[in-house]
A and B are shown apart, each in its own frame.
Chain A
């Protein structure tokens, strides 16, 4: 049975569909950004922490592509190096919330009844607490740093995944193939894992992609507020905050470079997520 579903899935994937140029472009851009984030620290032309007071607050030039900050650090190198941390935070948030949300959604959709109602109540409660607030409170309790906002935002993003996946899983649950598998005597965990999960996986992927963009903004905001990553760490939110005093002196390059990195990344992942949602026919 599993092999049959697998073969069918393969065949379905190989049939030609009308191309979606926007999907291809955004997927390429997002993939490129992820690759840059991984290899960024290795290909950065300068040491991101190396100060050079004689070359402070310079505009973009051949030697310094994005210019230098008030301590003379190379902004291009800092943006490249910072990409890794700026992506690692949202990456963990999205993986965690997608995993947890899918698990909760499958449990609720499979069991129905009071499990479903309990989950619904829990999600309503979580929806009532704004994401930034949870991250800020987490920073108050556990101290500023990487993990407090990341874990808090993971919790915040879980209901969004869970709600969408639950609605798809409930529909799948009522389809005849589930009953057929049950009659065939397969254990529940196996049906959920091998048959139900693959059918909701595209929606999870689309949701996670959209979530990545929002998580990138929220994680950056927490760092910007001084409650996440701390200076002199190279991270985009920290860089935007660092550059604020320079902006008042008319040197915008640090804030602008980091801000543009954030905007471009969020656009790429948002468009990709939207196209994926469209393709897989889920609801937003």
Chain B
């Protein structure tokens, strides 16, 4: 775990030069996240490669000759030490080579490419739904005390509905009974795809949207009774001016954090929603590969999900840094 020695193992003279603003920024937004991704992917790789199972038997079948098996072991590098195998995998991954699937017997990258688009559309639709519902309803809950109890109750209920429960409910009502949407599949072509992915996107967004509603509502609600806002109102500033300049600006940070965290978690959420709707995205691919013990695919997909998560949260941190001058000075 080389990450832990970032400050502790360094001589004092060097440590002071690390406090240079540019170096500190690079540490926070480049080196730290990259190390996190490396550590996480190494952990995933190590756990998955050391797990029981014989990839050679999976690839060649039970009737392969001993020499073929031995050749395959060498080709896959199964007898190399773990750090070397990880290095091999990592350099390959950086060049777009993620290994060969044990069940499909195709390069993992060929399996990922078409499915990434499906998952990306699903996650994008869900993100739009979450942001619109979360910010609008949260804004209403935060600004109007009359609606707040209702909004809070709705959000409290929504946060308790897991995506897989929402899935069956939505399919039953809107696909089976009303027939407005298909019961599964991802569709082909742009509009057909959107039509197929509407219910899955709603199922995926409910819990996250409810969380964002809670965060937005409480951030705006807290700011609305702050002293500087009361002062502004007392000085007779117009309500919309106070809202935009004094409430929204201050509430923007926690809202941005909550939005970013929900969007970052969406890909992991797709792992649950995609199989439920029979959508062939990377989530379904992951679940199928887990059942089939297809470790190269599992490693690639899980490393991808972690990378997306870390990149999005890092961008989010950087965004906060740009938005809030206090953070810029404080560091």
Contact = CB atoms under 8 A, between A and B. Distances in A.
A202 B7 CA distance: 34
B40 A263 contact: no
B315 to A, nearest CB: 14
A140 B171 contact: no
Contact of B176 (A121, A247, A271): A247
Chain A residues touching B, range:
35 or more
A141 B51 contact: yes
Is the contact region of chain A dominated by helix, strand, or loop, or is it mixed? helix
B137 interface: no
Given A224-B276, A225-B287, A271-B156, A141 B164 contact: no
Nearest to A217: B162
Contacts of B160: 213, 217, 263, 266-267, 270
B48 A252 contact: no
Contacts of B6: 121
Contacts of A225: 164, 271-272, 275, 287
Contact of A132 (B47, B172, B272): B272
Interface in B139-184: 156-157, 159-165, 168-169, 171-172, 176-177, 183
Which one of A118, A130, A139, A220 has the highest number of Cβ atoms from chain B below 10 Å of its Cβ?
A130
B157 to A, nearest CB: 7
Which one of B165, B171, B265, B313 has the highest number of Cβ atoms from chain A below 10 Å of its Cβ?
B165
Interface stretch (A45-53, A171-179, A236-244): A236-244
A140 B293 contact: yes
Given A130-B305, A132-B268, A132-B271, A121 B1 contact: yes
A161 interface: no
B309 A130 contact: yes
Interface stretch (A12-20, A63-71, A92-100, A254-262): A254-262
Interface string B33-55: 00011011001100110011000
Nearest to A139: B290
A255 B168 contact: yes
A213 B211 CA distance: 14
A114 interface: yes
A136 B286 contact: yes
A277 B268 CA distance: 28
A284 B82 CA distance: 40
Is the contact region of chain B dominated by helix, strand, or loop, or is it mixed? helix
B36 A141 contact: no
Nearest to B264: A130
Contacts of A217: 160, 162
B275 A221 contact: no
B169 A259 contact: yes
Given A136-B271, A225-B272, A128 B36 contact: yes
Nearest to A213: B160
A233 to B, nearest CB: 17
A136 B290 contact: yes
Contact of B165 (A124, A131, A240): A240
A220 B290 CA distance: 17
5 contacts: A133-B271, A224-B276, A252-B168, A256-B172, A267-B160
| A-B CB proximity, top 8 nearest | A130-B268, A259-B165, A266-B160, A141-B51, A217-B162, A255-B168, A140-B290, A224-B164
Given A139-B290, A255-B172, 15 more contacts: A124-B36, A128-B37, A128-B306, A129-B44, A129-B306, A130-B306, A136-B302, A140-B298, A225-B271, A227-B287, A243-B168, A252-B172, A256-B172, A259-B165, A266-B162
